[in-house]
Amino acid sequence: MAITTKSKVSAQAINESPSQIKSAPTQINDASLKELQEGTTGCLFTIQRFGLKRSLNNQDMDTVSGVLGAERPSISAQKSLLNKKNAYLKALVHSLGALRNYWILSTVPFPEDGVRLLRRADIPVFDKRMNELKAEFERAAHAISEHYEEIKMDARQRLGNLYHEEDYPVTLDGCYQVSWSFAEIRVPDYLRKLSPEIFAREQERIIGQFADAVRLTEEAFIAEFKTVLANLTRALTDGDEGKKILRTATVEKMETFFNRFEALNCTGNKTLSDLIKSGRSIMHGIAPDDLRKHEALRADVRKQLEVVQQKLEQDIILPRRNIGMASPAPAPENPDAKT
Protein backbone atom coordinates (compact mmCIF):
# COMPACT_ATOMS: atom_id res chain seq x y z
CA MET A 1 0.00 0.00 0.00
CA ALA A 2 1.24 3.47 -0.82
CA ILE A 3 -0.59 4.96 2.15
CA THR A 4 -2.18 2.80 4.80
CA THR A 5 -4.31 5.53 6.41
CA LYS A 6 -7.50 6.67 4.73
CA SER A 7 -9.05 10.12 5.02
CA LYS A 8 -12.73 10.52 5.77
CA VAL A 9 -12.92 13.33 3.22
CA SER A 10 -14.06 11.82 -0.07
CA ALA A 11 -12.44 12.57 -3.40
CA GLN A 12 -15.80 13.75 -4.65
CA ALA A 13 -16.06 16.25 -1.83
CA ILE A 14 -12.81 17.91 -2.77
CA ASN A 15 -13.25 17.52 -6.52
CA GLU A 16 -10.00 15.74 -7.08
CA SER A 17 -10.94 12.40 -8.62
CA PRO A 18 -8.51 11.18 -11.31
CA SER A 19 -9.53 11.68 -14.94
CA GLN A 20 -8.35 11.41 -18.48
CA ILE A 21 -6.83 14.57 -19.88
CA LYS A 22 -8.69 15.66 -22.99
CA SER A 23 -5.87 17.80 -24.32
CA ALA A 24 -2.60 16.48 -25.64
CA PRO A 25 -0.73 14.76 -22.77
CA THR A 26 1.88 16.87 -21.05
CA GLN A 27 5.42 15.64 -21.55
CA ILE A 28 6.48 15.20 -17.96
CA ASN A 29 10.13 15.87 -17.33
CA ASP A 30 11.79 13.01 -15.43
CA ALA A 31 13.69 15.46 -13.23
CA SER A 32 10.46 17.30 -12.34
CA LEU A 33 8.74 14.01 -11.54
CA LYS A 34 11.62 12.94 -9.32
CA GLU A 35 11.60 16.31 -7.58
CA LEU A 36 7.88 15.96 -6.89
CA GLN A 37 8.36 12.47 -5.45
CA GLU A 38 11.33 13.40 -3.29
CA GLY A 39 10.15 16.87 -2.31
CA THR A 40 6.57 16.15 -1.20
CA THR A 41 4.70 13.98 1.26
CA GLY A 42 1.13 12.74 1.34
CA CYS A 43 -1.06 14.96 3.48
CA LEU A 44 -4.38 13.61 4.76
CA PHE A 45 -7.08 15.73 6.37
CA THR A 46 -9.80 13.99 8.39
CA ILE A 47 -13.12 15.45 9.49
CA GLN A 48 -15.49 13.96 12.05
CA ARG A 49 -18.79 15.72 12.58
CA PHE A 50 -22.42 15.21 13.49
CA GLY A 51 -24.40 15.14 10.25
CA LEU A 52 -26.95 17.87 9.62
CA LYS A 53 -29.27 15.69 7.53
CA ARG A 54 -31.14 12.48 8.32
CA SER A 55 -33.46 10.39 6.16
CA LEU A 56 -36.99 10.07 7.44
CA ASN A 57 -37.68 6.79 9.20
CA ASN A 58 -40.21 4.31 7.81
CA GLN A 59 -43.08 5.56 9.96
CA ASP A 60 -42.55 9.17 8.92
CA MET A 61 -42.20 8.16 5.29
CA ASP A 62 -45.51 6.28 5.49
CA THR A 63 -47.12 9.44 6.86
CA VAL A 64 -45.64 11.61 4.11
CA SER A 65 -46.65 9.20 1.35
CA GLY A 66 -50.18 9.04 2.77
CA VAL A 67 -50.55 12.83 2.92
CA LEU A 68 -49.21 13.27 -0.60
CA GLY A 69 -50.94 10.24 -2.05
CA ALA A 70 -47.62 8.95 -3.38
CA GLU A 71 -46.39 5.39 -3.59
CA ARG A 72 -43.96 4.73 -0.74
CA PRO A 73 -41.16 3.20 -2.89
CA SER A 74 -41.29 6.19 -5.25
CA ILE A 75 -40.37 8.89 -2.76
CA SER A 76 -37.53 9.75 -0.42
CA ALA A 77 -37.10 12.60 2.03
CA GLN A 78 -34.62 14.07 4.49
CA LYS A 79 -34.89 16.40 7.45
CA SER A 80 -32.44 18.95 8.82
CA LEU A 81 -31.53 17.96 12.36
CA LEU A 82 -29.78 21.25 13.05
CA ASN A 83 -30.71 24.71 11.87
CA LYS A 84 -28.04 25.93 9.44
CA LYS A 85 -28.94 29.52 10.34
CA ASN A 86 -27.94 29.00 13.97
CA ALA A 87 -25.10 31.39 14.81
CA TYR A 88 -23.08 28.78 16.68
CA LEU A 89 -23.38 26.27 13.87
CA LYS A 90 -22.44 28.92 11.29
CA ALA A 91 -19.32 29.74 13.29
CA LEU A 92 -18.43 26.06 13.43
CA VAL A 93 -18.92 25.58 9.69
CA HIS A 94 -16.85 28.69 9.00
CA SER A 95 -13.94 27.49 11.12
CA LEU A 96 -14.10 24.05 9.53
CA GLY A 97 -14.07 25.66 6.08
CA ALA A 98 -11.00 27.68 7.03
CA LEU A 99 -9.15 24.49 7.98
CA ARG A 100 -10.14 22.64 4.82
CA ASN A 101 -9.35 25.59 2.56
CA TYR A 102 -5.92 26.07 4.07
CA TRP A 103 -5.19 22.38 3.54
CA ILE A 104 -6.20 22.71 -0.11
CA LEU A 105 -4.39 26.03 -0.59
CA SER A 106 -1.14 24.51 0.63
CA THR A 107 -1.21 21.34 -1.45
CA VAL A 108 -1.67 19.90 -4.92
CA PRO A 109 -3.93 17.03 -6.04
CA PHE A 110 -3.01 13.38 -5.83
CA PRO A 111 -5.06 10.58 -7.44
CA GLU A 112 -5.96 8.82 -4.20
CA ASP A 113 -9.04 9.57 -2.13
CA GLY A 114 -8.53 12.26 0.49
CA VAL A 115 -4.79 12.61 -0.16
CA ARG A 116 -2.99 15.70 -1.41
CA LEU A 117 0.71 16.46 -1.80
CA LEU A 118 2.46 18.91 0.52
CA ARG A 119 6.01 20.11 0.02
CA ARG A 120 8.16 18.71 2.82
CA ALA A 121 9.80 22.08 3.36
CA ASP A 122 6.35 23.55 4.09
CA ILE A 123 5.41 21.03 6.80
CA PRO A 124 6.42 23.17 9.83
CA VAL A 125 4.54 26.27 8.61
CA PHE A 126 1.57 24.17 7.52
CA ASP A 127 1.35 22.34 10.85
CA LYS A 128 1.63 25.56 12.86
CA ARG A 129 -1.14 27.30 10.94
CA MET A 130 -3.39 24.23 11.01
CA ASN A 131 -3.03 24.07 14.80
CA GLU A 132 -4.00 27.74 15.06
CA LEU A 133 -7.09 27.14 12.92
CA LYS A 134 -7.87 23.98 14.88
CA ALA A 135 -7.91 26.00 18.11
CA GLU A 136 -10.56 28.29 16.58
CA PHE A 137 -12.51 25.25 15.43
CA GLU A 138 -12.40 23.69 18.90
CA ARG A 139 -13.67 26.94 20.45
CA ALA A 140 -16.59 26.92 18.00
CA ALA A 141 -17.26 23.23 18.75
CA HIS A 142 -17.25 23.95 22.48
CA ALA A 143 -19.71 26.81 22.00
CA ILE A 144 -22.17 24.71 20.03
CA SER A 145 -21.91 21.96 22.63
CA GLU A 146 -22.71 24.43 25.42
CA HIS A 147 -25.86 25.57 23.59
CA TYR A 148 -26.93 22.09 22.50
CA GLU A 149 -30.20 22.07 24.47
CA GLU A 150 -31.23 25.38 22.87
CA ILE A 151 -30.42 23.95 19.46
CA LYS A 152 -32.51 20.84 20.12
CA MET A 153 -35.39 22.98 21.35
CA ASP A 154 -35.28 24.86 18.04
CA ALA A 155 -35.29 21.52 16.21
CA ARG A 156 -38.43 20.41 18.10
CA GLN A 157 -40.21 23.55 16.96
CA ARG A 158 -39.00 23.29 13.37
CA LEU A 159 -39.58 19.58 12.85
CA GLY A 160 -42.79 19.06 14.81
CA ASN A 161 -43.78 15.40 14.61
CA LEU A 162 -40.64 14.64 12.62
CA TYR A 163 -38.51 15.35 15.69
CA HIS A 164 -37.18 12.21 17.36
CA GLU A 165 -34.88 12.37 20.37
CA GLU A 166 -33.05 9.25 19.25
CA ASP A 167 -31.74 11.12 16.18
CA TYR A 168 -29.53 13.17 18.47
CA PRO A 169 -26.54 12.14 20.57
CA VAL A 170 -26.74 12.73 24.31
CA THR A 171 -23.98 15.33 23.98
CA LEU A 172 -22.05 16.95 21.15
CA ASP A 173 -18.77 16.60 23.07
CA GLY A 174 -16.36 14.78 20.78
CA CYS A 175 -18.75 14.88 17.80
CA TYR A 176 -16.71 17.52 15.99
CA GLN A 177 -13.06 16.71 15.45
CA VAL A 178 -10.40 17.35 12.84
CA SER A 179 -6.95 15.87 12.33
CA TRP A 180 -4.25 15.75 9.70
CA SER A 181 -1.35 13.46 9.12
CA PHE A 182 1.62 12.98 6.84
CA ALA A 183 2.52 9.77 5.07
CA GLU A 184 5.27 8.87 2.66
CA ILE A 185 3.99 7.69 -0.68
CA ARG A 186 6.41 4.94 -1.54
CA VAL A 187 6.71 1.18 -1.82
CA PRO A 188 7.62 -0.47 1.51
CA ASP A 189 11.29 -1.49 1.52
CA TYR A 190 10.54 -4.99 2.76
CA LEU A 191 8.91 -5.78 -0.60
CA ARG A 192 12.25 -5.37 -2.36
CA LYS A 193 13.58 -8.58 -0.79
CA LEU A 194 10.29 -10.33 -0.27
CA SER A 195 9.20 -10.06 -3.90
CA PRO A 196 11.24 -8.02 -6.38
CA GLU A 197 8.49 -8.52 -8.95
CA ILE A 198 5.78 -7.03 -6.72
CA PHE A 199 8.16 -4.27 -5.65
CA ALA A 200 8.80 -3.30 -9.28
CA ARG A 201 5.11 -3.39 -10.09
CA GLU A 202 4.21 -1.20 -7.12
CA GLN A 203 7.05 1.17 -7.92
CA GLU A 204 5.70 1.60 -11.42
CA ARG A 205 2.19 2.19 -10.08
CA ILE A 206 3.34 4.93 -7.72
CA ILE A 207 5.38 6.62 -10.43
CA GLY A 208 2.20 6.63 -12.49
CA GLN A 209 0.30 8.24 -9.61
CA PHE A 210 2.83 11.04 -9.37
CA ALA A 211 2.62 11.56 -13.13
CA ASP A 212 -1.15 11.80 -12.75
CA ALA A 213 -0.66 14.30 -9.91
CA VAL A 214 1.34 16.51 -12.27
CA ARG A 215 -1.42 16.37 -14.86
CA LEU A 216 -4.17 17.00 -12.31
CA THR A 217 -2.27 20.01 -11.04
CA GLU A 218 -1.84 21.33 -14.56
CA GLU A 219 -5.54 20.95 -15.33
CA ALA A 220 -6.54 22.70 -12.12
CA PHE A 221 -4.14 25.60 -12.66
CA ILE A 222 -5.53 26.06 -16.16
CA ALA A 223 -9.11 26.03 -14.88
CA GLU A 224 -8.39 28.52 -12.12
CA PHE A 225 -6.39 30.83 -14.37
CA LYS A 226 -9.26 30.90 -16.86
CA THR A 227 -11.69 31.77 -14.08
CA VAL A 228 -9.70 34.60 -12.48
CA LEU A 229 -8.93 36.03 -15.93
CA ALA A 230 -12.59 35.93 -16.93
CA ASN A 231 -13.74 37.52 -13.68
CA LEU A 232 -11.28 40.41 -13.91
CA THR A 233 -11.74 41.16 -17.62
CA ARG A 234 -15.52 41.05 -17.14
CA ALA A 235 -15.26 43.51 -14.26
CA LEU A 236 -13.12 45.82 -16.41
CA THR A 237 -15.56 45.73 -19.34
CA ASP A 238 -18.08 48.57 -19.09
CA GLY A 239 -21.71 47.79 -19.82
CA ASP A 240 -24.32 49.79 -21.70
CA GLU A 241 -25.41 51.48 -18.49
CA GLY A 242 -21.98 52.52 -17.29
CA LYS A 243 -18.93 51.33 -15.42
CA LYS A 244 -19.16 48.07 -13.51
CA ILE A 245 -18.01 47.78 -9.93
CA LEU A 246 -14.46 46.48 -9.60
CA ARG A 247 -14.21 44.61 -6.33
CA THR A 248 -10.85 44.59 -4.59
CA ALA A 249 -11.24 40.85 -4.05
CA THR A 250 -11.36 40.27 -7.82
CA VAL A 251 -7.88 41.77 -8.22
CA GLU A 252 -6.56 40.10 -5.07
CA LYS A 253 -7.67 36.66 -6.27
CA MET A 254 -5.54 37.15 -9.36
CA GLU A 255 -2.47 37.97 -7.26
CA THR A 256 -3.18 35.05 -4.92
CA PHE A 257 -3.31 32.75 -7.92
CA PHE A 258 0.02 34.03 -9.25
CA ASN A 259 1.69 33.47 -5.87
CA ARG A 260 0.29 29.98 -5.50
CA PHE A 261 1.31 28.99 -9.00
CA GLU A 262 4.85 30.19 -8.33
CA ALA A 263 4.98 28.22 -5.07
CA LEU A 264 3.31 24.99 -6.16
CA ASN A 265 3.85 24.69 -9.91
CA CYS A 266 5.16 21.25 -10.81
CA THR A 267 3.65 20.95 -14.27
CA GLY A 268 6.63 21.62 -16.53
CA ASN A 269 4.16 23.25 -18.95
CA LYS A 270 6.16 26.13 -20.42
CA THR A 271 3.23 27.49 -22.42
CA LEU A 272 1.10 27.79 -19.28
CA SER A 273 3.99 29.26 -17.27
CA ASP A 274 4.65 31.89 -19.94
CA LEU A 275 1.00 32.92 -20.09
CA ILE A 276 0.81 33.24 -16.32
CA LYS A 277 4.03 35.29 -16.32
CA SER A 278 2.43 37.56 -18.92
CA GLY A 279 -0.63 38.00 -16.75
CA ARG A 280 1.49 38.79 -13.72
CA SER A 281 3.53 41.30 -15.70
CA ILE A 282 0.36 43.05 -16.84
CA MET A 283 -0.93 43.38 -13.27
CA HIS A 284 2.43 44.22 -11.66
CA GLY A 285 2.24 47.37 -9.55
CA ILE A 286 -1.42 48.04 -10.36
CA ALA A 287 -3.78 48.52 -7.42
CA PRO A 288 -7.57 48.20 -7.58
CA ASP A 289 -7.96 51.96 -7.05
CA ASP A 290 -5.73 52.62 -10.07
CA LEU A 291 -8.13 50.67 -12.24
CA ARG A 292 -11.12 52.44 -10.76
CA LYS A 293 -9.74 55.95 -11.21
CA HIS A 294 -7.94 55.79 -14.56
CA GLU A 295 -10.07 54.92 -17.56
CA ALA A 296 -7.14 54.60 -19.96
CA LEU A 297 -5.32 52.20 -17.64
CA ARG A 298 -8.51 50.23 -17.12
CA ALA A 299 -9.01 49.82 -20.87
CA ASP A 300 -5.35 48.96 -21.52
CA VAL A 301 -5.22 46.29 -18.81
CA ARG A 302 -8.46 44.78 -20.08
CA LYS A 303 -7.13 44.56 -23.65
CA GLN A 304 -3.87 42.95 -22.52
CA LEU A 305 -5.68 40.42 -20.37
CA GLU A 306 -8.01 39.58 -23.25
CA VAL A 307 -4.95 38.75 -25.37
CA VAL A 308 -3.78 36.35 -22.63
CA GLN A 309 -7.28 34.87 -22.52
CA GLN A 310 -7.26 34.27 -26.26
CA LYS A 311 -3.86 32.60 -26.15
CA LEU A 312 -4.97 30.43 -23.25
CA GLU A 313 -7.99 29.29 -25.26
CA GLN A 314 -5.96 28.71 -28.43
CA ASP A 315 -2.84 27.10 -27.02
CA ILE A 316 -4.22 24.97 -24.18
CA ILE A 317 -7.26 22.71 -24.35
CA LEU A 318 -9.05 22.57 -21.03
CA PRO A 319 -11.06 19.51 -20.00
CA ARG A 320 -14.63 20.29 -18.96
CA ARG A 321 -14.14 18.73 -15.56
CA ASN A 322 -13.79 20.58 -12.26
CA ILE A 323 -10.69 19.48 -10.37
CA GLY A 324 -9.83 20.97 -7.00
CA MET A 325 -6.30 22.37 -7.13
CA ALA A 326 -4.72 24.51 -4.53
CA SER A 327 -8.07 26.05 -3.77
CA PRO A 328 -11.66 25.64 -4.83
CA ALA A 329 -11.86 27.30 -8.23
CA PRO A 330 -13.21 30.84 -7.83
CA ALA A 331 -16.82 31.06 -8.92
CA PRO A 332 -17.58 33.37 -11.85
CA GLU A 333 -18.46 36.73 -10.41
CA ASN A 334 -21.32 39.03 -11.31
CA PRO A 335 -19.89 42.52 -11.58
CA ASP A 336 -22.91 43.96 -13.37
CA ALA A 337 -23.68 46.41 -10.61
CA LYS A 338 -22.89 49.95 -11.61
CA THR A 339 -20.82 52.57 -9.84
Where are the domains positioned within the chain?
Answer: 41-183, 190-315
How much is the average pLDDT of 21-42?
71
At residue 19, does pLDDT exceed 50?
Answer: no
Mean pLDDT of 88-105: 96
Greatest Cα-to-Cα distance within the chain, rounded to the nearest angstrom:
74
Average pLDDT, the chain: 86
Q: CA–CA separation, 192 vs 205, rounded Å?
A: 15
Q: What is the pLDDT of residue 54?
A: 94
Average pLDDT of the residues in 136-155: 96
The answer, yes or no, to whether residue 76 has pLDDT greater than 80, is yes
12-21, 31-40, 57-66, 304-313, range with the lowest pLDDT: 12-21
For residue 116, pLDDT over 60 is answered with yes
pLDDT at residue 37 greater than cutoff 80: yes
- Looking at the DSSP assignment, which residues form a beta bridge with residue 177? 48
| Position 24 pLDDT exceeds 90 | no
Give the rounded percent of residues in the chain with a pLDDT score beyond 70.
84
Amino acid 321: pLDDT: 41
Residue-wise pLDDT for 276-315, tens only, equals: 999 999 999 999 999 999 999 999 999 999 999 999 999 8
Q: What is the pTM of this model?
A: 0.79
Residue-wise pLDDT for 150-197, tens only, equals: 999 999 999 999 999 999 999 999 999 999 999 999 999 999 999 999
What confidence score (pLDDT) does residue 33 get? 84
3-class DSSP assignment, residue 121 = helix
Of 110 and 239, more confident: 110
| Burial (0-12, 13-18, 19+ Cβ within 10 Å), 230 | middle
Continuous H helices in the chain:
30-39, 58-68, 87-105, 123-146, 148-159, 190-194, 196-236, 248-264, 270-283, 288-293, 295-315
- Collapsing DSSP to helix, strand or coil, 272 comes out as helix
**Predicted confidence (pLDDT) at residue 252 exceeds the cutoff of 80:** yes
* Residues 210-223, mean pLDDT to the nearest whole number: 92
Rounded to an integer, what distance in angstroms lies between the CA atom of residue 78 and that of residue 84?
Answer: 14
Could you tell me which of 188, 187, 202, 213 has the C-alpha nearest to residue 33? 213
- Averaged pLDDT for residues 56-60: 93
Is residue 4 pLDDT above 60, yes or no? no
Number of other CB atoms surrounding residue 26 within 10 Å: 18
Contacts of 70 (CB under 8 A, 6+ apart): 64
pLDDT band of 239, cuts 50, 70, 90: confident
